[in-house]
């Protein structure tokens, strides 16, 4: 233990072999120190070994914590890793990038924004944390496109929230998860607005949401109308209004009427990429609690290699229960 902590303070990488042999040590504290030393010393050749530990749930966070110490260079060095390893651990790399500032991590985040999925909100958050501002027309278009998508997705989830009547059992859990989704879509949209339109007032609104100062949010909504294009501010205000008062009114009733796709179909088929792992798992769990056997059978074959463990575990459980 002492030797490992001394090694991790040395600037010359002479102990790669020693660290490598201790990374899989049975003693948890030795393993912990070895992972930290490998990351602190930025030993690229040990990255596959370090990433391999991530396979065990218990050690996943130790690896992320260690890789945060690796710094921006990590995002240069992972390019040397096999593509499948990078793909598998992309959610973790995005998480790490939000705690690191630098050109390599920024480039990694921009590249991973290409395909919209449940991690895109984390990528946007990481870029916002890095004070990213789109500089050319292409990146501005990408951000604008994402903003339009997030606003559309958020509004579509309002109808999900209002259309949960068919889920009699565990309805409140489902509603709470959809409300969380709408709130996340609103926050992501505001972060995109902050990067696109470069308005400091939007960051102030984000602070108010974070601090849950609801009475001040009403004033903030007026700021949106003044500072942003009409269509964008209108959609943002629909989301704000629903979060502050999630009851059916003229606007939300119209939204809900125009979107008749069943929730299960949206979550697992048509809009699968827009829902987070918790909502996906909870929709599966609530479908089981409400005897929606046919819905559950339809996802028997729909298994992705990179899906989060919570989804895999819930699917295995409910399918086993309905058999």
**Footprint on this chain of another protein (rule: CB under 8 A):** 28, 32, 57-58, 60-62, 64-65, 68, 95-96, 99, 173, 176-177, 180, 210, 276-278, 281-282, 285, 308-310, 313-314, 317
d(CA 312, CA 318): 10
Q: Are 84 and 116 in contact (CB under 8 A)?
A: no
d(CA 183, CA 123): 17
Q: Classify residue 45 by its DSSP letter.
A: G
- From the CB of 256, what's the least distance to another protein, in Å? 23
Nearest Cα residue to 308 out of 152, 95, 150: 95
- From the CB of 298, what's the least distance to another protein, in Å? 20
The string over 113-130, giving b where at least 16 C-beta atoms fall within 10 Å of a residue's C-beta and e elsewhere, is beebbbbbbbbbbbbbeb
273 or 309: CB nearest another protein:
309
218 or 317: CB nearest another protein:
317
CA angle 278, 168, 282 (to 5 degrees): 10
62 or 236: CB nearest another protein:
62
Sign of CA dihedral 109, 112, 113, 117: negative
Residues 6+ away with beta carbon under 8 Å from 277: 118, 307, 308, 310, 311
3-state secondary structure of 149: helix
- From the CB of 288, what's the least distance to another protein, in Å? 10
- From the CB of 182, what's the least distance to another protein, in Å? 13
169 or 249: CB nearest another protein:
169
Q: Are 313 and 57 in contact (CB under 8 A)?
A: no
273 or 317: CB nearest another protein:
317
Q: Are 174 and 283 in contact (CB under 8 A)?
A: yes
61 or 269: CB nearest another protein:
61
Q: Are 184 and 276 in contact (CB under 8 A)?
A: yes
- From the CB of 136, what's the least distance to another protein, in Å? 32
The string over 66-85, giving b where at least 16 C-beta atoms fall within 10 Å of a residue's C-beta and e elsewhere, is bbbbbbbebbbebeeeeeee
- From the CB of 58, what's the least distance to another protein, in Å? 6
- Cα-to-chain-centroid distance, residue 69: 21
- Cα-to-chain-centroid distance, residue 22: 32
172 or 225: CB nearest another protein:
172
Question: What Å distances lie between residue 24 and 10, 32, 60, 77, CA to CA?
Answer: 21, 9, 13, 22
- From the CB of 285, what's the least distance to another protein, in Å? 5
- From the CB of 223, what's the least distance to another protein, in Å? 24
145 or 313: CB nearest another protein:
313
């Amino acid at each position: 233990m002492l030797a490992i902590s001394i090694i991790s303070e040395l600037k010359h990488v002479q102990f790669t072999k020693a660290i490598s042999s201790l990374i899989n040590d049975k003693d948890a504290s030795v393993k912990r120190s070895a992972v930290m030393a490998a990351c602190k010393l930025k030993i690229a050749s040990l990255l596959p070994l370090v990433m391999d530990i991530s396979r065990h749930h218990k050690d996943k966070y130790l690896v992320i914590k260690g890789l945060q110490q690796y710094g921006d260079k990590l995002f240069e060095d992972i390019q040397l890793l096999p593509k499948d390893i990078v793909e598998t651990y992309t959610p973790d790399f995005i998480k790490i990038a939000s705690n690191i500032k630098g050109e390599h991590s920024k480039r990694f985040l921009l590249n991973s924004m290409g395909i919209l999925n449940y991690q895109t909100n984390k990528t946007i958050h990481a870029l916002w944390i890095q004070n990213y501002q789109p500089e050319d027309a292409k990146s501005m278009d990408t951000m604008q496109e994402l903003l339009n998508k997030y606003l559309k997705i958020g509004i579509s989830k309002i109808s999900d929230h209002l259309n949960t009547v068919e889920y009699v059992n565990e309805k409140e859990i489902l509603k709470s998860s959809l409300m969380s989704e709408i709130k996340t879509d609103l926050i992501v949209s505001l972060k995109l607005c902050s990067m696109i339109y470069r308005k400091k007032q939007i960051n102030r609104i984000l602070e108010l949401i974070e601090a849950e100062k609801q009475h001040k949010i009403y004033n903030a909504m007026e700021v949106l109308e003044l500072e942003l294009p009409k269509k964008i501010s209108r959609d943002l205000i629909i989301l704000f209004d629903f979060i502050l008062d999630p009851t059916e009114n003229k606007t939300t009733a119209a939204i809900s009427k125009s979107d008749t796709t069943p929730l299960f179909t949206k979550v697992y088929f048509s809009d699968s990429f827009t829902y987070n792992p918790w909502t996906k798992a909870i929709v599966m769990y609530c479908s089981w609690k409400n005897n929606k056997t046919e819905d559950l059978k339809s996802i028997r074959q729909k298994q992705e290699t990179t899906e989060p463990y919570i989804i895999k575990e819930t699917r295995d459980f409910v399918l086993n229960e309905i058999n």
